[in-house]
A and B are shown apart, each in its own frame.
Chain A
Amino acid sequence: MKVLQHIGIIIFLVGLSTFAALPLLGTFKVDKNIVQEIVSDNSIKSELFIQDLETKIQGKKFNGVQSLSPIIVSALDNANATHRKNKEYKKIIYTKGRDMAGSIAKKSGVGFIAENKGLMWFLTFGLGIIGALLFIVPQVVLLGPKGIKNDGIYHQSSTNRGWIAWLVFIFLVSFYLILYFRPEYATNWTYLVDPISESLSGNLAGHWFVYGFMYCVVMSVMAVRMYIKYRHNIYQVVRTTSVLFFQIVFAFLIPEIMVRLQMPYYDFKNAFPLDYDFFFQWNLKTLLNSGGIGIFILFWGVVLTLVIVPVMVYFFGKRWYCSWVCGCGGLAETLGDPYRQHSDKSLFAWKVERWLIHGVLLFAVLMTGMTLYSFFSETGTVLGIKTQSVQNVYSLAIGSIFAGVIGTGFYPIFGNRVWCRFGCPLAAYLGFVQRFKSRFRITTNGGQCISCGNCSTYCEQGIDVRAYAQKGENIVRSSCVGCGVCSAVCPRGVLKLENGPEEGRINPTEVLLGNDIDLMDLVNKK
């Protein structure tokens, strides 16, 4: 079994290394027709830029995107600078240089990688999946009898912020930086999944398709790990199945199929304000121009946020979204599970959390207010502030850096719910409902707590669960996503997630159950 695991690690690392090397490999040959296509696809009117393309890249071969991309980026920058200087505003190209480089590279890939998509898929994704499963599946035997198996978590480099954790951190952060800020380097990755993308939407894959596909693969493989690790805990098994289902079907398949059916790309479970650009002008225009389905999506998006989300939180707590449906939560609960113990439990971290997450919510709401005002009054500025600039700041700082680079990249260091805990505006909104008007609570079982701290240690949201449990108080916290792991790891059966009557949900106690101090009943009256 151990041997199988070692073979698995080697195979996995081969797949991962191949994947990691791809951005810098490959040959790109820019034919004349590619330049023409690019010019017509983007309706480029800048003869300066076209001339640069023709002289500097047309008919030439490039080894790796790194040799092609800078030429295009600087050509585009130069062209735009000249046009701005000459006030030739119609000739300015609004596509970003790197996106332009990406679309040129995508069309011009030649050689082994671009011509052996299936084989390359196997050498990257295929080996990664096989290797990971070879490592994970033997745990059925190796973990021994079913039960909580957290042995050695704080002895292992990978789960105790050791060098492996830092390598994973570097890998994840680099991956997100490429995805958000150097998309042209993802060109080779897009080739791997072109066949899959074509079979779904009919289009070639872009870098966001790579991300979506990879997201599903990673979640599926790590869900197998969850199933094995928590095989005694049916709540975890059902919950894992649920997040996996919503990711694969709602976030990945349905939007792609909608594109094939000439409908707008839409993830039906992605609720505003997590889906922060739902009310952005371009999205509203797309929806309004998409006929019945567009109007339906608009209606659904509003109802989802204003009615469905709060009503469901009232009955089931915010867990129905955060740890049963949400994609961010889904990744956190699968890929992120080995890192859940790294969330900071200090009072200081809780203070930071409240300022940050509510700050982001406020930011999102104000930005959306500006956006809608601009949309209906058809102005670009509100109180002298450019709506577009605010949107750009949010997209960059919150949408890309906070949610992506920090939210996922920092898993091995700060735990798996950094975004959900400190940043997600939807979580903040759900949190208000959960805290003030909900049937959900984690019930503390009378006086049975022994203050061991397993619950707090493994709370991914950094809630000091023990602080409540050892006082005999139920846990009613806006940040709780109801993952159920505190209840699972409790050695004494003290915690239970449940939805019950609101009365008695919050139950401060002076003296714990089991101690009949005279008259204390009066003090404890709930």
Chain B
Amino acid sequence: MDLCFLSINITSFVADPLSHEFMRKALLMSSLVAAVCGFLSSYLTLKGWALMGDAVSHSVMPGVVVAYALGLPFSLGAFIFGVGSVALIGFVKQKSRVKEDTVIGLVFTGFFALGIVLVSKIKSNIDLHSILFGSPLGISLSDVKQTVFISLLVVILLSVFRKDLILYCFDPRHAKTLGINVLFLHYLLLTCLSLSAVVGLQSVGIVLVVAMLITPGATAYLLTDKFDNMTIISVISAIISSVFGIYFSFWFDLETGGSIVLVQTFIFLFAFLFAPRYGIFKFKKLFSDY
């Protein structure tokens, strides 16, 4: 990158995009979405639900399409298909000898394909490209309301049941011994996953939303040994990625979703190499992690 260009134009680099209303909205909404996905990300990473996140985020596609076509909130369709896909994965796994990862891959690609076929068949104003790759620059007002509502709901659920969810991820057997409803926590996390996937896909699209759900958590996991710090780092790195991703996309005319996820990946790479304790080049002596 041309450093001279940056130093001279740093003010306009930051300020120019802000003069456009769609950019202000995109930055605000994407940051909110990133914060929610980043918050959930710390749980998913520790629960080992990366593949599950991929499955759910792809499976919501037909739900979103059908909901749009029927004029229902897209979150409702996404929720039904998200939770439904996981139930179906569980059912097929139990009733057949096919291994779990195969079942997961099989079910979510099936749903995803159904979604793509539906888009081409149902007459509506759904733009396949914006579902697949996100369109943070073109979020409508009703989408904004829904996104804010879902985001608040997810954050409240994850906060109220925070300690139980940590216990569920860490040692479900102990939770069961204490009479804590483990099945409820399982479906709670799943519900939050489906809801986060559907708000995340507006920002980066279905194809990349899983990155929003796992990369910030994985980055944070390399940087701390405390769950609270992990969540904070995860949320912050997700927001930074969104903001920088959108700026880069504005200035260099890049696909926004790809740009956001690429920044996330670079932050992970940085942590992977230079994390004080768990990086390739450990700087344990320079920093103290706790």
Determine if chain A interacts with chain B: no
Q: Which residues of B contact A (CB under 8 A)?
A: none
Q: Which residues of A contact B (CB under 8 A)?
A: none
